[in-house]
Amino acid sequence: MAVLRERGQREVFCGLAGIVWLHRKIQDAFFLVVGSRTCAHLLQSAAGVMIFAEPRFATAILQDRDLAGMADCNEELDRVVHELLARRPDIGTLFLVGSCPSEVIKLDLDTAAERLTREQQGRVRILAYSGSGIETTFTQGEDTCLTALVPEMPAADDPALLVVGTLPDIVEDQFRRLFSAMGFDAIDAPVHFLPSRTAAELPPVGAATKVLAAQPFVGDTVAALVARGAELIEAPYPFGVEGTRAWLGAAAAAFDIPDVQVDAACAGPIARAERGLERYREQLAGKRISFLPDSQLELPLGRFLARECGMTLVEVGVPYLDRRMMDAELALLPTPERLSEGQDLEAQLDRLRADRPDLTVCGLGLANPLEAEGLTTKWSIELVFSPVHGFDQAPDLAELFARPLNRRARLAF
C-alpha cells in the first residue's frame, strides 16, 4: 500500500489532553502540569470541572520571571508540591507533567521528581513525563505517562496477559468477563491492565508476560515493556465485531487456548453487536469518509467503517505510522484512495475540498471552518473520550459516525 508522507504545518491537539481520561482512570494519582495559563485553561475547559470541585489535576503556572530566568523554578516547584501534598494527603502518585513552556526553558522535571521523591521518604511516588504538544499528537500524552510507570512495575516470572492502554472501567470489566469465559482463569494466567485503577497496585511484568495493546498509540510503552522481557502479541485493535474477535483470538492463541472456547465466549456478545449495527449500516453504507491525522485511531476506525459498515475510504491520514503497532491493521484495511502519514495542512485541505467526502474526521480546530465550507465533520477527540472498544460498544461507535450525517440531513433545506 503506497503511503503519502508529508512534512509541513500540522493541526493537532495538545498532549496534555490525556490527563482528562488518565486522572479518571488512575484514582490515587494527581497530575501537576508545569506550564502556562493557557495550559490551565485547556485542562479546565477540556475536563469540564467546576471551579469549586477538587479535581486530581492542577497547573503550576510559570510566570514571566520564571520564563525570563529571573526566578529559581525548582524552588518554586518544590514549594508548590509541598503545599499540594499537605493539602491533599490522599495522593498516592504525583505526576509532574511537562508542557511546551517548561520544555522551552529546559526545566528538568525528571531530576525534580527524583529530588522530591527522596524528600517524601517513600510516602508519595513522584514521577515525571512530557505532555508537550510541540512535536507530538495529543494521544501520545498517555503513552509518555504509561512509559514513566514501567520502571515502577514489579518483576514477575509467572505467565500473565497485560492489556496496555486506558480503557473505561465498564469496558475493562467486560473484557475481564470475556477473558475469564475464554479460559484464562483455568490456565492460571491472570489478566492485568495498564494503567491499573490505582497506581499503588501496578501489574507485574517479566519474561513470561505477554502484552496486548488496546490502543494503537502506546508504542513507547510497549517498547519499554519489551525491554523488561515482555512479548508483544500482534493483533488488530478491539474496534467493532471483527477487530474485537481478532484481538481476543490473538490473546487466546498466545496462551494456547482453543479457538472453540473463544467462539463460545464471544457468541452472545457478537450476536448483540450485529443486531445493534444493522440500523447504522443502512445509514453509513456507501458514504465516503476522510480522516485527517490527529489521534492515531484512524487506521482501526477506517478498517471498522469500511469492512463492517460499508463506507468508502477516501483518505486515511495518520500522524505517524508505527509498523510494529499497525501491521495487523494494515493487513485488514481495505485500500483507501489515499493513505497519508504526517501532515502538510494546506495541501491536505486542498485535497479535502477536491474530494468533498460525505464525512470528515478531524480535530476541533478544523471542524467549524470546514462546516462553514459545507463539509460534514466529526471531532476525532470524541472517539478517544467515548467508550468505543469491544462488542457491546460497536453499535455506539457506528452511531458516533452516523450522528453528524443525520444532523446534516435534518438541517438540509
* Binding-site residues from annotation for [4Fe-4S] cluster: 14, 39, 100
Q: How many CB atoms are located within 10 Å of the residue 233 CB? A: 20
- Residue in the block written with cell 505467565: 159
Q: Tell me the three cell numbers of residue 144.
A: 509518555
Give CA–CA dist 306/312, Å, rounded: 6
Q: Per-residue DSSP letters for 134-196?
A: SSS-TTHHHHHHHHHHGGGSPB--S-EEEEES---HHHHHHHHHHHHHHTTTTTT--EEEES-
Nearest to 162 by CA among 214, 197, 127: 214
Q: Please state the residue numbers annotated as binding site.
A: 14, 39, 100
Q: Going by C-beta distance under 8 Å and a sequence separation of 6 or more, which residues neighbour residue 184?
A: 161, 190, 191, 255, 257
336 alpha-carbon distance from chain centroid: 24
CB contact set of 260 (below 8 Å; sequence gap of 6+): none
How many other CB atoms are there within 10 angstroms of residue 404's CB atom? 19
**C-alpha atoms less than 13 angstroms from C-alpha of 325 in its C-beta half-sphere:** 24
Cell 470475556 maps to which residue? 178
What is the C-alpha R_g of the chain? 22
What DSSP string runs through 290-320?
EE-SSSS-HHHHHHHHHHHH-PEEEEEEES-
Give the CA-trace dihedral at 166, 167, 168, 173, to 10 degrees: -130
SS (H, E, C) 357-378: CCEEEECHHHHHHHHHCCCCEE
Q: Are 301 and 325 in contact (CB under 8 A)?
A: no
